[in-house]
Amino acid sequence: MLIVVDPGHGGSDSGAIGYGYFEKDINLSVSLKLRDVLKANSVDVILTRDKDITLGLSERCDIANKNNADYFVSIHCNSFKDSSAKGTETYSYPGSTSGAKLAKGVQQAIVTNLKTADRGVKTANFYVLHHTSMPSILVELGFITNKDDLDLLLNKQNLYAASISNGILNTVGLKQTNGSNDIEKLHQMGIISDYYDPESYVKWKDIAGALLKIIGG
Ligand SMILES: [Zn+2]
C-alpha cells in the first residue's frame, strides 16, 4: 500500500494566511506527522514535498502517477474573509466512488476527534483531484482565518494526523497496528487529552490523571 501525501502550497506560495500564520507551514507540519503515523501502520508514504519549496500542481500529480500510488491525499487549510467561517470539509473528484468513500472516512474521523464543524464531503474539479490516476482526496483541515480552528491547527496536529490516518486505514480495510486505535478510543472517551506517538514514553502524572478520570476521582 502506497499513499502519496501532498502538503498544499509551499515556497513562494504561502497559501492562505490567518493571524500571521501561513497555510503552507501547517499543511507541511501535519503531513509530516501523517507520514509518521501511516508508516507506523506499515503503509508506504511518499510526500510531494518534505520542506518549504515551491512545487507546481502537475509536479505533485506526476509524483503520485509515476509511483503508482494507491491513494493521493492533499492537505490544506481553508480561509474566508468572514472570520466566523469554520470547520472541516473533504473533497473528492466528481464521479469517483472510491474517492468519495475515502473522503467520507477521513472527514468523519476528523470531525469526531477534533470536534470541528462538519462542513461535509464535497466534490470538486480541483487540479490535483482531476490529474491523479488513483482515488484522491483534498482535505481542508479547518479555517486558518478562524481563531478556534487555528488553535486546533496549531496545537492538535498529532490528532489531525492520527485521525486522517485512521480514516484512511479504516476505509481501505487495513487494520491499525501499534495501538493507534486504542489511543484514539481513549481520546474519544475523554480519558486522555490528545493523540500521542504509540511508541512514546508516558509520565506518571499522566497515568495518574487518566486513572483518576476512569474512577471518577
Ligand atoms: Zn490550500
Q: How far away, in angstroms, is 139 Cα from ligand 1 center?
A: 9
Cα dihedral 1, 184, 171, 32 in deg (nearest 10): -40
In a domain, 189, yes or no: no
In a domain, 202, yes or no: no
In a domain, 106, yes or no: yes
Residues in the chain where the model's pLDDT stays below 50:
none
Active site residue 89: no
Which has the closest alpha carbon to 143: 21, 49, 59?
A: 21
Say if residues 76 and 140 touch (Cβ distance below 8 Å).
Answer: yes
In a domain, 15, yes or no: yes
Task: Give residue for cell 500571521.
Answer: 20
Per-position DSSP letters for 27-93, written without gaps between them: HHHHHHHHHHHHHHTT-EEEES-SSS----HHHHHHHHHHTT-SEEEEEEEE--SSTT---EEEEE-
Tens digits of residue pLDDT in 36-95: 999 988 899 999 999 999 999 999 999 999 999 999 999 999 999 999 999 999 999 999
Q: How far away, in angstroms, is 161 Cα from ligand 1 center?
A: 17
Q: What range does the domain containing 13 cover?
A: 2-179
In a domain, 210, yes or no: no
Which of 59, 140, 184, 199 is catalytic? The answer is 140
In a domain, 204, yes or no: no
Q: What percent of the chain has pLDDT over 90?
A: 77
Q: In 3-state terms, what secondary structure has residue 7?
A: strand
3-state helix, strand, coil in the chain (%, to 5): 45, 20, 35
CATH number at residue 39: 3.40.630.40
Say if residues 75 and 16 touch (Cβ distance below 8 Å).
Answer: no
Number of domains present in the structure of the chain: 1
What's residue 175's pLDDT? 72
